[in-house]
Amino acid sequence: MTGHVLKLGDVVPNFVSDSTQGQIDFHSWLDGSWGILFSHPADYTPVCTTELGRVQTLHKEFAARGVKLVALSCDSTESHLGWINDILAYNKLEEFSYPIIADPNRDVATLYGMLDPDEKDSAGMALTCRAVFIIGPDKRLKLSILYPATTGRNFDEIIRVIDSLQLTATRKVATPVDWKQGGSCMVVPGVKQEDVEQLFPKGVQVHEVPSGKVYLRTTPQPE
């Protein structure tokens, strides 16, 4: 079963699937907001239990950024609903507020190229890897990360990335290595030096380098 290769900037494929919160028509569910679709290999497995619990812990952080969350694996809705009780208990949580999509036929997993060839269920069917798809309000793919089943994700990094994506979508800046919210930004190369003052009222520092080229320009994070 081969997966579709989703490229950055592609409009993500729509699908209609059952979930723990009823049927989801994905494009309608996104409804013009930012969204994260993330998959896990299987319910009732250890790493996944920690991951979905962590996402719930960070739920208000995502909500504050206008980001909708939805999880997915190849298990049934009934399995998801039972497993949520374990997630709540293990992670000492009171509520589980985002839906988990059921994809037993691997329809969505195939559509999004989420299947992990090294991880199989008891019937020999490929399971989903730990995929993260960040989708913008235009329904286009802004970022994807694929982790193997053995490596749990760092959702603080996903929030950091959301902050960068949302900032750079509307301002002519890029975020440097290890950037965090409130940190200094890089002016994108396409901005002409004569336009810098108008675009960046907080000021821009040009960093001299041996090449003599003017391309390393930093500015405080724009409002």
- Domain of 205, CATH number, reads 3.30.1020.10
Cβ-based neighbours of 39, under 8 Å, separated by 6 or more: 71, 72, 73, 109, 112, 114, 128, 129, 130, 131
128 token code pair: 């989903």
Residues 110 and 189 in one domain: no
Residues 69 and 140 in one domain: yes
39 token code pair: 């998959």
pLDDT for 122 equals 66
Domains contained in the chain, number: 2
In 41-158, where do the E strands start and end?
67-73, 100-102, 115-120, 126-128, 130-135, 141-147
Q: Is 207 a domain residue?
A: yes
Please report, as a single letter, which amino acid is at residue 133.
F
Residues 136 and 199 in one domain: no
Q: Is 69 a domain residue?
A: yes
pTM of the model: 0.92
pLDDT for 124 equals 74
Residues 113 and 202 in one domain: no
pLDDT (tens, 9 = 90+) of the chain, 223 residues, equals 344 678 999 999 999 999 999 999 999 999 999 999 999 999 999 999 999 999 999 999 999 999 999 999 999 999 999 999 999 999 999 999 999 999 999 999 999 998 877 777 767 777 888 999 999 999 999 999 999 888 999 999 999 999 999 999 999 999 999 999 999 999 999 999 889 989 999 999 999 999 999 899 999 999 8
182 token code pair: 């409130």
Print the domain residue range for 219. 171-223
List residues with catalytic annotation: 48, 138
pLDDT for 141 equals 97
Residues 81 and 181 in one domain: no
pLDDT for 3 equals 47
| Residue 137 burial class via C-beta count within 10 angstroms: exposed 0-12, middle 13-18, buried 19 and up | middle
- Domain of 136, CATH number, reads 3.40.30.10
Residues 187 and 106 in one domain: no
Residues 42 and 130 in one domain: yes
Residues 125 and 27 in one domain: yes
Residues 188 and 221 in one domain: yes
Q: Which of 142-156 are b and which e, b meaning 16 or more Cβ less than 10 Å from the residue's Cβ?
A: bbbeebebeebbebe
Residues 207 and 178 in one domain: yes
